[in-house]
Amino acid sequence: MMGDFLFSDEPDTPVDNTDLGTWKVLIVDDEPEVHAVTKLALSDFEFQNKRLEFISAYSGAEAKTLIDEHKDAAIVLLDVVMETDDAGLQVVKYIRETAKNNHIRIILRTGQPGQAPERQVIVNFDINDYKSKTELTAQKLFTVIMSSLRSYRDIISIEQSRVGLEKIITASRNIFSAHSIEHFIEGVMQQLTSLLGISDQAMYATTLVAQNPASQNNKMIICSGTGEFEKSEGKDLEEVLHADQLSACQEALNNQSIIYKDNYLFAYCSSEYNHSSMLFITGIPNTLTDTQRNLVEIFAQNVQLAFENVQLQSEIEATQQELVYRLSEAVEQRSTETGNHVKRVAHICHALALGYGLSKQQADLIRLAAPLHDVGKVGIPDSVLNKPARLDAPEWEVMKTHTDKGYGILKGSAHEIVSAGATIAKEHHEKWDGSGYPEGLAGNKINIFGRIVALADVYDALRHKRCYKDSWTLERVVEEINAQKGTHFEPKLVDVFNANLDELEIIIKRYPD
């Protein structure tokens, strides 16, 4: 039986081509000769420029350990009878049911076919092939390994496609959010690399949006990377690529085309906006089919459109935020308060919201809506708004109406920011103990946004000069806010204020009057 494996023209030692990568083959058999002969028969085996890497186990128990250590093994050549009559079958169950490894191809080899009948084993166990040792000659071993590797390759490719598609679907739910473009591009690149049958090595780079499109010196920055480029995000392309790669990149850029070089390619990503962007994929096969080249071309066109759609959405969001700031500043400039007051309050609210435990989405929302808190002052007479002395009782009643006026301006909007702004405008002068206005709400009946803006507004107002007062020292402000704990301000929020005071002071200094 063993003699059928041997050929006189086979090399005495395997050729060392580890730099090409390997396919891991786990040999599980209690006979050392089987290991030796199997390795010898497959010593010159090569598939897709990758040799075989053999891992030996001499019992079912040892095989289970190696399965856990080598989750990327492609094939297991598994003996049935070892320390027990069904040791191999127990390994099959362990692989599929315990290790949950559905990728590895299991080839069952037995010297005693009657011990584990083929029909019964095929039906009851998730194996991929069943061979008697007496029939498994060198040629048949070569054939079964080749077919199994092709199956394994296709399964891995399908799995990569599934993972890539899942990322794209997840990203598409929030494709216009600030960070989804990186996730989206990563998923699309994983899809493409799996379709090309290559390792996951790709990156996408574009010129900085803030730079002048007409400039010839725009640096390309890596937006997203996979594999070895995953840690290169944010870097200049020139820092990551070699001289010959940079030359090929420039060629693709100049010709606005796809350039194939050795085992990598550069694809120029074009769109109607003509931002300079580049896709770089390395580890591609020596020969690409027309279908694969077409996939690259389609990707290069479509991913840029997706990227620019997100850029446009980001621009819209930035414009909305700037309009809110400028309108709020216009209101503030009617009084002696400066325009930067609304920016400081917005960022102070964001820090307090995160410290309080609100989600990032909620913290971002209050940052965008907080500048609208005093929009109702547009309806307050200058004689009241800018009086350099304490207001008398009738004037104070007029001043207090700015909360209802602000709510009246903003209420009824279907847009989240404006709706939140309406709530803030109405409730930011309510107090925790119920002594505030306009409705005398108390405790948790005051919206959390109103409670946060109340503290942020007072903190910033006390720290800066007004027509009716000088600026207070930090120590005096902290003493005052803590004195109002449980009366004006929610106790938990005061604790958050104290814990984040250094960050809040940085915001104060970042936006001075």
For residue 44, give the 3-state DSSP assignment: coil
Which range of residues forms the domain containing residue 41?
A: 2-155
- Are residues 35 and 105 located together in one domain of the fold? yes
User: What pLDDT sits at residue 133?
Assistant: 82
HEC readout, 173-242: HCCCCCCHHHHHHHHHHHHHHHHCCCCCCEEEEEECCCCCCCCCCCCEEEEEEEHHHHHHCCCEHHHHCC
Residue 326 domain flag: no
Residue 319 domain flag: no
Stretch 358-365: mean pLDDT, rounded? Answer: 93
- Are residues 42 and 81 located together in one domain of the fold? yes
Sort 31 into a burial class: Cβ within 10 Å, 0-12 / 13-18 / 19+: middle
Whether residue 177 has pLDDT greater than 50: no
Residue with more model confidence, 433 or 342:
433
Residue 191 domain flag: yes
Whether residue 333 has pLDDT greater than 80: no
Of 98, 123, 155, the last residue of a domain is: 155
Residue 328 domain flag: no
- Are residues 118 and 260 located together in one domain of the fold? no
Whether residue 102 has pLDDT greater than 80: yes
User: What pLDDT sits at residue 351?
Assistant: 96
Phi/psi at 497 (5° precision): -60, -50
User: Which of 5-14, 41-50, 361-370, 467-476 is the least confident region?
Assistant: 5-14
CATH of the domain at 468: 1.10.3210.10
Q: Which of 513, 506, 447, 455 is CA-nearest to residue 481?
A: 455
User: Which of 54-63, 315-324, 355-364, 468-477 is the least confident region?
Assistant: 315-324
Whether residue 193 has pLDDT greater than 50: yes
Dihedral sign from CA coordinates of 158, 48, 243, 253: negative
- Centroid of chain to Cα 30: 46
- Are residues 290 and 425 located together in one domain of the fold? no
Report d(CA 510, CA 322) in Å as an integer.
Answer: 17
Catalytic residues: 377
Compute the C-alpha angle 277/281/282, nearest 5°. 145
Compute the C-alpha angle 404/409/415, nearest 5°. 120
- Are residues 140 and 187 located together in one domain of the fold? no
User: What pLDDT sits at residue 346?
Assistant: 92
Stretch 205-230: mean pLDDT, rounded? Answer: 64
Residue 162 domain flag: no
- Are residues 441 and 499 located together in one domain of the fold? yes
Of 311, 342, 367, the last residue of a domain is: 311
Number of other residues whose CB lies within 10 A of the CB of residue 130: 19
User: What pLDDT sits at residue 1?
Assistant: 39
Residue with more model confidence, 196 or 476:
476
Of 121, 155, 189, the last residue of a domain is: 155
Per residue in 410-469, pLDDT (tens digit) is 898 888 888 999 999 999 999 999 999 999 999 999 999 999 999 999 999 999 887 667
Residue with more model confidence, 174 or 359:
359
Instruction: Tell me: cis bond preceding 438? Omega within 30 of 0 counts.
Output: yes
Q: Which residues of 141-165 are buried (b: 16+ CB within 10 A; e: fewer)?
A: beebbeebbebbbeeebeebbeebe
Mean pLDDT, the chain, whole residue set: 81
Phi/psi at 74 (5° precision): -90, -35
User: What pLDDT sits at residue 263?
Assistant: 80
Report d(CA 420, CA 362) in Å as an integer.
Answer: 10
Whether residue 15 has pLDDT greater than 60: no
- Are residues 416 and 476 located together in one domain of the fold? yes
CATH of the domain at 281: 3.30.450.40
Stretch 161-170: mean pLDDT, rounded? Answer: 62
Stretch 211-218: mean pLDDT, rounded? Answer: 45
Residue 216 domain flag: yes
Report d(CA 351, CA 496) in Å as an integer.
Answer: 9
- Are residues 121 and 211 located together in one domain of the fold? no
User: Which of 68-77, 224-233, 320-329, 453-462 is the least confident region?
Assistant: 320-329
Maximum average pLDDT range among 17-21, 137-141, 171-175, 287-291? 137-141
- Are residues 142 and 84 located together in one domain of the fold? yes
Whether residue 67 has pLDDT greater than 90: yes
Stretch 20-49: mean pLDDT, rounded? Answer: 91
**DSSP 3-state percent helix, strand, coil across the chain (nearest 5):** 55, 15, 30
CATH of the domain at 48: 3.40.50.2300
User: What pLDDT sits at residue 94?
Assistant: 95
Q: Contact at 8 Å (CB) between 4 and 54? A: no
User: Which of 11-20, 317-326, 386-395, 412-421 is the least confident region?
Assistant: 11-20
Sequence-ordered alpha helix ranges (H) in 72-137? 87-93, 118-124
**pLDDT cut 90: percent of the chain above it:** 42
Residue 324 domain flag: no
**pLDDT cut 70: percent of the chain above it:** 75
Report d(CA 100, CA 341) in Å as an integer.
Answer: 58
Residue with more model confidence, 267 or 421:
421
Phi/psi at 182 (5° precision): -65, -40
Give how many domains the chain has, as a whole number.
3
Residue 164 domain flag: no
Whether residue 477 has pLDDT greater than 90: yes
HEC readout, 227-296: HHHHHHCCCEHHHHCCHHHHHHHHHHHHHCCEEEECCEEEEEECCCCCCCEEEEEECCCCCCCHHHHHHH
- Are residues 436 and 502 located together in one domain of the fold? yes
User: What pLDDT sits at residue 176?
Assistant: 42
Maximum average pLDDT range among 63-72, 128-137, 157-166, 317-326? 63-72
- Are residues 380 and 492 located together in one domain of the fold? yes
User: Which of 225-229, 306-310, 372-376 is the least confident region?
Assistant: 306-310
Per residue in 223-264, pLDDT (tens digit) is 777 777 878 888 888 888 889 899 999 898 888 888 888 788
- Are residues 209 and 358 located together in one domain of the fold? no
